[in-house]
Amino acid sequence: MSFSDPSPLSAAPGASVRAVHDEFHGDLLEVSMGPHHPSTHGVFRMMVTLDGETVVKLKPVFGYLHRNHEKIGENTSYLGSMPYTDRLDYLCSMTNNWAYALAVEKLAGQAVPERAEYLRVILAELTRLLNHTCLAGFLLQDCGASGTPLMYAFREREKILDLFESLSGSRMMCNYQRFGGCRVDAPAGWLDAARALTDGYGSFLDEYEALLTGNEILMARTQGIGCLSAKLAVSAGVTGPLLRAAGVAYDLRKVDGYGFYPRFDFRVPLGAHGDTYDRYMVRVLEMRESIRILQQALRDIPAGPIMDPKAKLRGFRPKPGEVYSRIEGPKGEIGFHLISEGGPNPYRYRVRPPSLINLTILEDLCLGHSIADAVVILGSIDIVLGEVDR
C-alpha cells in the first residue's frame, strides 16, 4: 500500500481521466446516462466517467432525434418549411416561426404591417414566459423537488398554450407566421385575454419565487455550481440567458433591434457569477421584463391588416441571394441561413440552434462536480432535443 499522493484531480476545464488506480480511489466508473434517463430532457445521452460521485469526464452524445430537418428544408418550398420549424424547439414554435419568417422576408425584401409586428412581439414574449416558466419547473424537478414546482409551472404554461390555441388552432405546433405578416388575425377578445394573463403573471412569479428562490436547499444546490466564465461563454458561442448569466450584456433584442423591440422600454438582467443560480435568476428577471414588454405591446397594438397585401404566398420565388437572419429566442440566438437560387425551394437551408451550441460547454461546467450537480447543470442549460438533433 503506498501513501504517495496520486496526481490530484483537477476541477479545471479540460481535466481528463486519471489513469492511476490507487488504494483510495480505485477504478473509475463509466455510466451511460441516457438516452432514456428521467432527467436528460428527451433522448440526450451523457457518457459520464465518475470517480466516486465526481464527474471526471463527460461526453455528450446526441443525434437520437435527428430527422434531416435541414435537408428536407432544401427540398421543400419556402412556405412548406414553416410547419417544420415548429418541431425544432417544440416549446417555442412561435419564435422559431418568426426567426424563419424574418430570414425569408429579408431574402425577398418583404415588408410587414404594423399590427403583425406587434403580434409577433407579443407572441415571442409569451413564448419567452412559457419557456422560462417551464425551465424553472424542470430545473427544480432535477433538483429533486417532487413535481410541485413543475406542476405550478405547467398550470401557467397551459394558460399561455390556451392563448396560442385560440389564435393559431394548435397548442404547440402553431405554424402561425407567414412571409409578410401572420396567418390569421387575433379573434375577438383574444387581446383582452392576453392582457388578463399578462397582468396576472407577475403575481404567479411572486408566488413561485416566494416558494423557491429563497429556499436554502435550492441555494445550496445551485450557488457556485457549474460556473461559466464570460470568456468561455463568448469563445464557445453561447447565447441567450446563459451568456447573460455569465455577465455579458448581449441581447439581440437590443443589439439588432429587430421587429419593433426598439419601441419598447425593457431592461436586460445580467448575472455576476455565471453559476446555476444566476442562470435561474436571470430567467426569472427576464420574465418580469417580458411582462413589461407585453403590457406595452398590448397597450399600443394598432388595428389594421396583418398581412402585407403585396406578399405572395403561392409561387413564391425570392431572387437569388444569401441571407442569415437571427432573433433572440428564449434559449438564445436562433438563426436561419438561407441561400436562394431563384427557385421555389432554398438551395441551402441551415438552422443555428441555440440549444446545441449552448450544450457544447456541458463538460466544462460539469467537471469536478458531482453527478447530482451534472443533472442540475444540464437542466439549467435548457435544451430541447428537437432543436439539438434537428
Partner 1 sequence: MSAAATTSESFLERAPLLLRDAVTGFLPEPARWLANSLLSIVAVLAVFGLLFAFLTLAERKILGRVQNRPGPNRTGWFGLLQPFADGIKMLTKEDIVPRAADQLLHFLAPVTLLALSILTFAVIPYGRHLVPVELDSAVLYFFAAGAATELAIFMAGWASHNKYALLAAMRALAQLISYELPLLLSFVPVVLATGTLSTTGIVAAQGGWKWHLIPHWIVFTPWGAAGFAIFMVSALAESNRSPFDLPEAESELIAGHLTEYSGFKYALFFMAEYFGMCALSGMAVTLFLGGWQAPLPVLEFIPSYVWFAGKLLTLLLGFIWIRATLPRLRIDQLTRLAWKFLVPLALVNLGTAAFWSLTSAWSGPLQLLRWAVALVLVAGPFLLLGRGLTAGLGPRTYRYA
Site size for partner 1 (CB under 8 A): 54
**Residue 216 interacts with partner 1 (CB under 8 A): yes or no:** yes
Minimal distance in Å, beta carbon 98 to partner 1? 23
Single-letter amino acid, residue 167: L
Q: By CB under 8 A, name the one of 15, 28, 47, 50 that touches partner 1.
A: 50
Residues 328 and 330: their CA atoms lie apart, in Å, by 7
Is 140 a binder of partner 1 (CB under 8 A)? yes
Scanning the structure block, which residue is given the C-alpha cell 407577475?
202
Question: Minimum distance between the CB of residue 21 and partner 1, rounded to whole angstroms?
Answer: 17
Q: Angle CA(312)–CA(313)–CA(319) in degrees, nearest 5?
A: 60
Minimum distance, C-beta of residue 42 to partner 1, in the bound complex (Å):
14
C-alpha cell at 177: 407566421
Considering beta carbons, is residue 144 or 343 the nearer one to partner 1?
144
> Rg for the chain (alpha carbons), in Å?
22
Give whole-number Cα distances, 116 to 72, 175, 177, 185, 188, in Å. 28, 15, 9, 8, 16
Q: Using CB under 8 A, which of 254, 263, 292, 317 touches partner 1?
A: 254
How far is it, in rounded angstroms, from Cα 267 to Cα 140? 26
Q: Which of 11, 17, 20, 29 binds partner 1 (CB under 8 A)?
A: 29
Per CB under 8 A, does 267 bind partner 1?
A: yes
What's the min distance (Å) between Cβ of 114 and partner 1?
27
DSSP 34-71: -SS-TTSTTT-EEEEEEETTEEEEEEEE--TT---HHH
* Euclidean distance between CA atoms 294 and 123, whole angstroms: 9
Residue 161 binds partner 1 (CB under 8 A): no
The count of other CB atoms within 10 Å of the CB of residue 214 is 9
> Side-chain half-sphere of 15: how many Cα atoms within 13 Å?
21
Counting contacts by CB under 8 A, is residue 53 touching partner 1? yes
- Least Å distance, CB 44 to partner 1, is 14
- Does the footprint of partner 1 cover residue 59 (CB under 8 A)? no
- For residue 187 the three cell numbers come to 379573434
Q: Cα separation of 121 and 115, whole Å? A: 10
Using the rule CB under 8 A, which residue among 240, 269, 329, 346 binds partner 1? Answer: 269
Residue with cell 464570460: 230
- In terms of CB distance, is 31 or 111 closer to partner 1? 31
Residue 214 as a binder of partner 1 (CB under 8 A): the answer is yes
* Interface pick for partner 1 out of 151, 196, 210, 313 (rule CB under 8 A): 151
Q: Which stretch binds partner 1 (CB under 8 A): 147-155, 181-189, 232-240, 356-364?
A: 147-155
Interface residue list for partner 1 (CB under 8 A): 29, 31, 37-39, 50, 52-53, 140-148, 151-152, 155, 211-221, 223-224, 244, 249, 251, 254, 267-273, 277-278, 281-282, 285, 370-373, 375
